[in-house]
Structure 1
Amino acid sequence: MSRAVAINVGANTNTPGVRGPVWADGRFEYVPIPETEPVAEPVPTYADLDLATDLPADVLDTPVHLDPEFPEYPYGERYSYGDPHGVKARPLADLATGDYAFFYATLATVDEPASWQAPEWGAYLIGGFELARDPVTGAAYSDLPPADRELFASNAHVKRETFDAEVLLAGDPDGSALYETALPLSGRAAGTDANRIVTELSSDSGKGPWWRRPLRFDAEATAELLAIRRNDRFTDCFYRD
């Protein structure tokens, strides 16, 4: 049975200074972080993405670090993800073919929050990969056959002048997606409060800045999380019927 790890991605109030929006019907906009390293291949800017998010004018011409990469998203070609930071790379590297990597972001609540939304902002699952192959460590990447390396050719870390990923993930197109609606991880009172997906299904306590930490799910919890996501059962994020 499949296991899963969920990690924080996307724009925040530090970089580039705003969060992506989430609306009362669950729709949201994924806003990537800026690219901070020199690149060997062209990458899009915020202006190229033509986002609805009200971004600061001085960042519009900034290149973006489009990671995770989704084919449904502008300039995305494959389901790929890379990470240079051990705190996220290590739990991701422990996954295997058929396991799941979920991606969550902190999103700003637009207008009056729905009954399942935290006011001001909250953490939400925005997408996920069913892994098409075992994770590839940064050390093993250079030894991959050309056909296998092609799986990661459009990843943001591969496009950097200096390849720096400690882990690379490839998603199976049949089991991977940038979601159309976001699934809440925060409680309904405040973005800093964790709901039961975090406190009961994941191995995290939900205390402290849980929205910055990797969240691990065992096989049973992963199956329940997938069912909640599949059925858009927002109430199941807070309690069982």
Structure 2
Amino acid sequence: MGGKAYAIYVGTSMSRNSVPRMRGYIFPSGEYVFIPQVSSNQFAPGPTYRDLGLDDYVHPSYYGLKVHYDPEFETFTYGEYVGKADPCIKNLLRLEPGDYLFFVTSLQFSPGPCRRKWWVKLEWAYYIIGYFEIEEIFNHKELSIAAVRHKLRNNAHIIAGNTRSDLVIWKGSKRSAKFEYAVPISDKNVPTSYSL
């Protein structure tokens, strides 16, 4: 049984590399809307922003675009290309079964009719939206096995056919979860040690 925990940023952001360039939304209740990035393969099967019910949150020009919905919380999979120089991604290689992977995103406050919970930050902040208790880890070679691909069929990389040689996919156990309410870990004045 492992015991390590790591966090990784997911979804859209205000960085110039993000498409669309925006944050998700958090409401006074603490409920939130996670906005995934656009898929790099628009010809592959997969959900669009409209399919995910995000019409009210993204610009109309994005409605019909396919999304890179990773992580996915139906069968609990998350994929990443580990050949990148990013130290956050390199840390993921230390994960073992029994360890935890937390998913962080930036959320913009969106006013609503109910009273704001004390822990919901005004303006924007970084929030944890879910986690996996790691059950299995698959490297590129294992992804060629039909049974493995079937087990990971909901993963955005598998759906889009983006299975480069540096792809690793982590599968969470049934104890993994997407939170109904986002958990704040910073605010806009005290962000993390790196820019998201």
TM over 0.5: yes
One-letter amino acid matched to 1:126: I
Q: Distance in 1 between matches of 2:55 and 2:62?
A: 14
Listed as ranges, the gaps of 5+ residues in structure 1 are: 72-77, 195-205, 213-241
Match of 2:40?
Answer: 36
User: Cα distance, 1:122 vs. partner?
Assistant: 0.7
Taking structure 1 as the reference length, the TM-score comes to 0.69
User: Cα distance, 1:208 vs. partner?
Assistant: 4.5
Match of 2:21?
Answer: 17
Counterpart pick for 1:193 among 181, 190, 194: 190
Match of 1:232?
Answer: none
Give the 4+ runs in structure 1 shifted more than 4 A: none
Listed as ranges, the gaps of 5+ residues in structure 2 are: none
Q: Distance in 1 between matches of 2:193 and 2:131?
A: 24
- Larger helix proportion of the pair: 1
- Larger strand proportion of the pair: 2
Greater relative contact order structure (CA < 8 Å, 6+ sep): 2
**Identity over the aligned pairs, expressed in percent?**
30
Taking structure 2 as the reference length, the TM-score comes to 0.83
CA deviations over 1:174-210 (Å, ceiling 9, x no partner): x1111100000114xxx2414xxxxxxxxxxx4352x
> Helix, strand or coil: the match of 2:135?
coil
CA deviations over 1:28-53 (Å, ceiling 9, x no partner): 1112111013554x111111111264
The answer to whether the Cα contact below 8 Å between 1:89 and 1:167 also exists between their aligned partners in 2 is no
Q: Cα 1:29–1:176, aligned 2, differ >3 Å: closer, same or farther? A: same
Q: Distance in 1 between matches of 2:117 and 2:156?
A: 35
Counterpart pick for 1:115 among 85, 97, 118: 118
The answer to whether the Cα contact below 8 Å between 1:137 and 1:166 also exists between their aligned partners in 2 is yes
Match of 1:79?
Answer: 76
Match of 1:207?
Answer: 193
Q: What is the RMSD computed on CA atoms of the aligned residues?
A: 2.2
